[in-house]
């Protein structure tokens, strides 16, 4: 809850990186709410040799929230890492104030 008369500052941060860099894990780890994630079982569209133990991949986005203080909230948007979902990046990047790049 914000102080009387205080304006809530909502900030959008994107978490970007290639396949298997840990975007979903990061958003899940730092979010104060149960993160929204859109993972599906990896199919033949992704080479199994890149990460043999990885069984799921993000197909839309991950979403989480961090409240810094009574007036500041960070909204985290994790992008999908596969090239075939790169078209979503433009939409997710719209309105962002910062990014975390995982490699």
Q: Where are the domains of the chain?
A: 9-102
Given a cut of 90, whether residue 2 has pLDDT beyond it is no
Residue 55: pLDDT over 90: no
CA atoms of 24 and 28, how far apart (whole Å): 6
Q: Name the residue with higher pLDDT: 39 or 89.
A: 89
Residues 45, 5: Cα–Cα separation, whole Å:
52
Cα–Cα–Cα angle for 13, 63, 92, rounded to 5 degrees: 55
Q: Which CATH code fits 9-102?
A: 3.40.50.300
Q: Could you report the per-residue pLDDT of 5-41, keeping only the tens digit for each?
A: 678 899 999 999 888 889 989 999 999 998 777 766 7
pLDDT at position 71, please? Answer: 93
- What is residue 29's DSSP assignment? H
């Amino acid at each position: 809850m914000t102080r009387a008369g205080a304006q809530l500052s909502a900030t959008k941060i994107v978490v970007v990186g290639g396949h298997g860099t840990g975007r979903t894990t990061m958003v899940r780890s730092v979010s104060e709410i149960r993160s929204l994630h859109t993972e599906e079982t990896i199919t033949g569209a992704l080479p199994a040799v890149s990460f043999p133990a990885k069984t799921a991949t993000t197909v839309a986005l991950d979403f989480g929230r961090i409240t810094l203080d009574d007036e500041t909230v960070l909204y985290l948007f994790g992008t999908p890492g596969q090239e075939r979902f790169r078209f979503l990046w433009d939409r997710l990047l719209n309105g962002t104030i910062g990014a975390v790049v995982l490699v």
